[in-house]
Structure 1
Amino acid sequence: MRAYYFDNAPGDQRLPHDSGRAVSPSTLEAIGVLHWSIPIDESPAESHIRQINEVAQERQYRNRDVISVTKEGLGDAYESKIKMFYEEHMHEDEEIRYILKGSGFFDVREHPNDQWIRVHLSAGDLLVLPAGIYHRFTLDERNSVKTMRLFKDEPKWTALNRGPATDANPYRKTYLDSIRSARAVASSA
Structure 2
Amino acid sequence: MAIQAWFMQESDDDQRLPHHKNPPEFVSMEQLADLGVLYWYLDPNKYENDPELDNIRQTRGYSYTDLLDLRPEKVENYEQKLKNFYTEHIHADEEIRYCVEGCGYFDVRNNDDRWIRILIKPGDLIVLPAGIYHRFTLDTNNYIKLMRLFVGEPVWTPFNRPQEDHPARKDYIKGMIEKIGLEVH
Contact 2:39 2:124 in 1 (8 A): yes
Distance 1:21 1:9 in 2: 16
Superposition misfits of 4+ residues, deviation over 6 angstroms:
none
Normalising by structure 1, we get a TM-score of: 0.90
Match of 1:181 in 2: 178
Distance 2:48 2:97 in 1: 17
Contact 1:40 1:48 in 2 (8 A): no
Distance 2:72 2:53 in 1: 28
Give the counterpart letter for 2:127 in structure 1: V
Match of 1:55 in 2: 56
Q: Which has the higher strand share?
A: 1
Cα separation, partners in 2 of 1:36 and 1:48, compared to 1, 3 Å = farther
The yes-or-no answer on 1:88 pairing with 2:92 is no
Residues 1-189 of structure 1: pairs in structure 2 closer than 5 A:
1-19=3-21, 20-41=24-45, 49-75=50-76, 77-111=77-111, 113-163=112-162, 166-184=163-181
Q: What secondary structure does 2:30 align onto?
A: helix
Q: Which has the higher helix share?
A: 1
CA deviation string 1:105-129 (max 9, x = no partner): 0000001x10000000000000000
Shift of 1:180: 1.2
Contact 2:45 2:100 in 1 (8 A): no
Distance 1:99 1:86 in 2: 18
Normalising by structure 2, we get a TM-score of: 0.92
In structure 2, the gaps of 5 or more residues are none
CA deviation string 1:77-130 (max 9, x = no partner): 01000100000000000000000100000000001x100000000000000000
Give the counterpart letter for 1:18 in structure 2: H
